[in-house]
Amino acid sequence: MQTLDIARQTSMELKDESQRDCCTAYKLLNTTLFSILTKPDSTDPYRPMLSSIKDLLPIQTSAIYHYAMDDSQATLIASNGDISNYGLSVQNYARSLEHARSSSGFWYCADNQPNLLVKATRINCEASVEYAVLVLICESAQKVRETRHQVVEILAQGFADVICATRLAQVNHRRALQQERATISRELHDSLAQSLTYLKIQASRLQSIFKNGMTENQRDSSEVELVIQELRGNLKVAYRQLRELMTIFRLTMNGENFNQAIEESIAEFGKRSNIVFELDNRLGSDELTTDEEMQIQHIIREALSNTVRHSHAKRARVMLHQDHDHCIQISIEDDGVGIDQMQRRAKHHGLIIMQERSQTLNGKFTVEEQSSGGTKITISFKPQKLVQLVQQVPRSSKAMADAGND
C-alpha cells in the first residue's frame, strides 16, 4: 500500500495544521483497510470514508469512481450527496485518462465548474490499467488544490488502496469458502458416506436371503441375526460419525479460531465424565491450514471419546506444540487401564480412524502403554505452511543468484 509512503513524504513539508490533517487522513484510511481485511464481506467501506472527508477538507460533497481502460465509462462506487450535475464532466475526464502517461495521478479543475475538483490515482493491479477517481465539490476547487493538495493526495491514493484491498479480500474470502466446502465434502465422503455404503451392502445381503427363500433351519437364522447385528453396529458408527462431524463443523464455523475449538471440545468431554482434562496448547493461531485443523480436531475428539468410554481414567492431558524441527507434536495421554491387547490386535475402530487421519497429514501415529499406567497417543507431522516455505526458499535463492549474475 502506498498511502503510508505518501503520508511520510509530506509530513516533513507541511505546516502543523496540515500535518495533523494528513495524519488524520492516514489513520482514517488505515482503519478502513484493516476493517476490509478483517471483514471481507463488508458491503460498503467507502461511504464512511467519504463522510469523514468533511472533517478534513472544506467540501460539501464527495464521491469515488472506478475507471478501467476497458470500460466505456467510469463507475460510481459511492457518494455522500448529489453529484448528478457533475457526472458528464467526470466521465469526460475519466476517458481522457486513456492518453495519460504518468502513473502518479492527475488533477482536474473545470473552468465552467469552479467548485469541481477531481483527482485520479492509478490502482496497483497487474491485469489492467485502472484508476480510482476522487470527486470533491467545494467552494473553490483551485484553493483546495493549492492549499490542501497533500491531504487530497493521501485520500486519493488511499481510495485506490481500498479498491485494491477490497478486491483482494473478496478473492481470499471466496477461496477460503471454497476450501472450507471442499473440506466438508471430503469429510462427509471419508466418514459418513463410507459407513452408509457398507450399510447398503448389508441391506442387500439381507434382501438376498429373503429373496432366495429363507428356511427355518438354524443356519439361515444365524446368518440373518449376524447381518442384523452388523447393520445395528454400523448404524451406531454412522450416527456417531454424523454427530462428531456436526460438532466439529459447529466449532469450526462458530469458534473464533482453532485453539478455541480445541478448548470447547475438551470442555465438552469434561462435562461427559468425571475425568479431569488438562490442555497444554503452545501452537500459534496461524500455523495450520484449514484441512490440518479439521483433521487434528477429529483425532483429538476421537481420542477423548475413547478415553471417556474405555479408559476408566481419573486424569487426561492433551498437549500441542512445535518441536525444534518445526514439526507439530500432538499427544493425548491418560492414567487409565490402558488399551486392551485384544482391541489392539483387532484394530479397534477408533485407532484406525486416528491412524488414517494421521496418514492424511503425512504424519506418524503411535500408541503406547505408559509405565505408570494408562495410554499415550502421539501424532507428529510437518505442517503444510512450513513445507511450502521450505520449497520456496530454493526458488528465492536461485532468483537472487540470477539477479546477482545480471
Return the CATH superfamily for domain 269-406: Histidine kinase-like ATPase, C-terminal domain (3.30.565.10)
The answer to whether domain 3-172 has CATH 3.30.450 is yes
Unique residue bearing C-alpha cell 489513520: 27
How far is the C-alpha of 3 from the C-alpha of 29, rounded, in Å? 8
Which residue ranges make up each domain of the chain? 3-172, 269-406
> What is residue 315's predicted lDDT score, i.e. its pLDDT?
94
Burial class (CB in 10 A: 0-12, 13-18, 19+), 374: buried
Distance separating alpha carbons of residues 124 and 26, to the nearest angstrom: 18
| Mean pLDDT value across the chain | 76
Q: SS3 letters for the chain? A: CCHHHHHHHHHCCCCHHHHHHHHHHHHHHHHHHHHHHHCCCCCCCHHHHHHHHCCCCCEEEEEEEEEECCCCCCEEEEECCCCHHHHHHHHHHHHHHHHCCCCCCEEEEECCEEEEEEEEEECCCCCCCEEEEEEEEECCHHHHHHHHHHHHHHHHHHHHHHHHHHHHHHHHHHHHHHHHHHHHHHHHHHHHHHHHHHHHHHHHHHHHHHHCCCCCCHHHHHHHHHHHHHHHHHHHHHHHHHHHHHHHHHHHHHCCCHHHHHHHHHHHHHHHCCCEEEEEECCCCCCCCHHHHHHHHHHHHHHHHHHHHHHCCCEEEEEEEECCCCCEEEEEEECCCCCCHHHHHCCCHHHHHHHHHHHHCCCEEEEEECCCCCEEEEEEECCHHHHHHHHHHHHHHHHHHHHHHC
- What is the torsion angle, in degrees rounded to the nearest 10, for the CA atoms of residue 10, residue 11, residue 13 and residue 16? 130
Query: Given this model, what pLDDT does residue 295 score?
Result: 85
**Spacing of C-alpha 158 from chain mean position:** 25
pTM exceeding the 0.85 threshold for the entire prediction: no
What per-residue confidence (pLDDT) applies to 12? 42
From residue 145, alpha-carbon distances to 137, 149, 152, 166, 234 in Å are 12, 5, 8, 28, 76
Q: What per-residue confidence (pLDDT) applies to 8?
A: 44
Per-residue CA distances from 326 to 210, 292, 322, 382 (Å): 58, 15, 5, 7
Cell numbers 491387547: residue: 341
Helix axes of 141-187 and 218-254: crossing angle, nearest 10 degrees: 160
CA angle (28, 29, 34) in 5-degree steps: 105
- The mean pLDDT values, 10 residues at a time, for the chain of 406 residues are 45 53 69 63 69 82 86 85 88 80 60 86 77 88 81 83 77 68 65 70 74 58 74 73 66 65 88 92 81 86 87 93 91 87 55 86 91 89 80 51 52
pLDDT in tens, 286-331: 788 877 888 898 899 889 988 988 888 999 999 999 988 889 999 9
How high is the pLDDT of residue 104? 46
